[in-house]
Amino acid sequence: MIVARRLLLIWLVLLTGCSIDDTFGEETNELGGTLVAASGPVTTAVDIDSGRLQGAEADAATGVRVFRGIPYAAPPVGDLRFRAPVRPARWSGVRSALDFGTACWQDFSHDSFVWSRGDFQRSEDCLYLNVWSGAQERAEKRPVMVWFHGGSHTVGYGHSKIFDGTELARQGVVLVSINYRLGPLGFLAHEALEEDGAAGNYGLMDKIEALKWVRRNILSFGGDPDNVTIFGQSAGSSSVCYLMTSPQARGLFHKAIGQSAACLLERTGDPDLNGYKRGAALVGAAGLKANVTAEALRQLDPQALLAAANSSGWQNGSRITIDGRVVPQPPLEAFQAGTHNRVPLLVGSMSDEGNQLLPLNTALTKAMLNDRLVKRFGVDAANELQKLYAKDLAESAGLAQREILIDQFMAWSMRTWARQNSNAGQPSYLYFFPHIPPAFRLYLPHATDLQLPDGPRSGGAYHSGDLAYVFGTVDLVGMDWTERDRQLSREITGYWTNFAKSGNPNGSGLPAWQQHSGNEAATMVFAENSATQDGVRTTKLDLFDQLALARRDP
């Protein structure tokens, strides 16, 4: 029954035009990892607005230092649960920044393809960030990159070993990673929690608060508060997209990178834009009355909240809501109106994002698929889609369904994001990643082995398979890396850090990357030999363009 409900939910996305983010429940609980122990000798202390910090040496050869577990907001517990974050209290003396903070409260996952996280320490007291920097003086003012981890806004944390910032710091940026509130503790919207006419999106407010911390304090680490790039993957990338539409984030970042998730699929038909209906269902599943008070919600056990989220189906809807405060309108409307935060943008996706990420409906027949496509798109479009996905359809109707859905959500939405930003006059760069990485447990560096029937590279270019390349951690996590993997990682870290420095990913020794502008489909393809191509999956994505325009016609 549970599997059937999830499969039905996925097809509701295709049939109603709602964001696929609404389907990211337990199946995409992908991030987490093993807490990395402090290493290296203690370094000179730095002063920030909350007090003095003592960090550690991360790389003696290049002078990279790391400061772990820095509080950027007060613990969101007690009366601060379900509220916007507030600045942390000052401390006296020197605070140790040798150990990472705690992961935010979330479910564990032991058998979830490459995304298994095992058991780890978790707490509501979790609003901490980490800084890697090779700058030795404040005056260096290096570009800053702020990382938002993925995990469907329900799981994960920013201090997994795969996100080690040493290599990016070696290349001249200051790297910041953060933890933010997750699941109902981070995103529950309910009328009892209203303040200033809005509720929910606390996890998104945490990201904004972290950016405010960066503006106030990053100079102490040799970073430039006026040159900040936000970047993220999956739910972290979706957050980047939403922050581009948030007035509260205006001026806090100057460039953006999104990996494998946007926020622009239409939500105008969503009957629960502010999330209050799902919030009420969660409250009922927790055994509380409809007229529950905020105080009662703040007293619930955190695990009871997670159980209610699961049993009520709360997690099957978008965690980020249109609250009228942090997110004042559906993001696509903001981009089309040109009211979004206009910054240079670099975005893209993997070629096999759907593998294991979405369940495969093995019971679906070709006739059933045709009926659903006709009802959603009409006869002509249904026929065209089945022609374009004939190879997948020949294998199974369920596979064709999944590939149609994932192309719409990933490849098409990322291209749409780049085009919308380019139309607003901002430099925009698009990539596509078909290079196949080895499959391994990404977030369990001491138990990486993941046996696939046809070998470690039989999982395709799967969702999250880009992470070790982006952070330059291919020799810190995983297994079976080749020299091409290492070379590709050097290319990608070069592109990402060049973009953070100047808004242009190009640089010495890298294949030329052309801007994606107007109807020009220039796309950097990360394959055996990286190169810009004139579009990827163009016929399929152009059809999705036509279908989206038809849905908006009166």
Residues belonging to the active site: 234, 353, 463
SS3 72: coil
257 contacts 347 by C-beta, under 8 angstroms: yes
SS3 376: helix
Neighbouring C-alpha atoms within 13 Å toward the C-beta of 135: 24
Other beta carbons within 10 Å of 190: 23
Residue 89 per-residue DSSP state: P
**Helix/strand/coil (H, E, C) string of 143-176?**
EEEEEECCCCCCCCCCCEHHHCCHHHHHCCCEEE
Torsion sign (Cα): 312, 315, 318, 320: positive
DSSP assignments along 212-272, one per residue = HHHHHHGGGGTEEEEEEEEEEETHHHHHHHHHTT-GGGTTS-SEEEEES--S-S--TT-TT
Provide the edge-to-edge strand list for the sheet that holds 64-71.
56-59, 64-71, 128-133, 174-178, 142-148, 223-233, 255-259, 345-350, 428-433, 522-525, 531-534
Q: Which two tokens stand for residue 76?
A: 């969101």
Mention every residue, 6+ apart, whose C-beta is less than 8 A from residue 181.
Answer: 76, 104, 126, 127, 187, 202, 203, 206
Strand segments (E) across 364-439:
428-433
Other beta carbons within 10 Å of 221: 27
C-alpha to C-alpha distance for 542 and 533, rounded to whole angstroms: 16
H/E stretch holding 53: strand 51-54
Give strand pairing partners of 168: none
Other beta carbons within 10 Å of 366: 13
Query: Residues, the chain, total?
Result: 554
Give strand pairing partners of 329: none
Q: Which two tokens stand for residue 181?
A: 């509130």
445 contacts 473 by C-beta, under 8 angstroms: no
SS3 28: helix
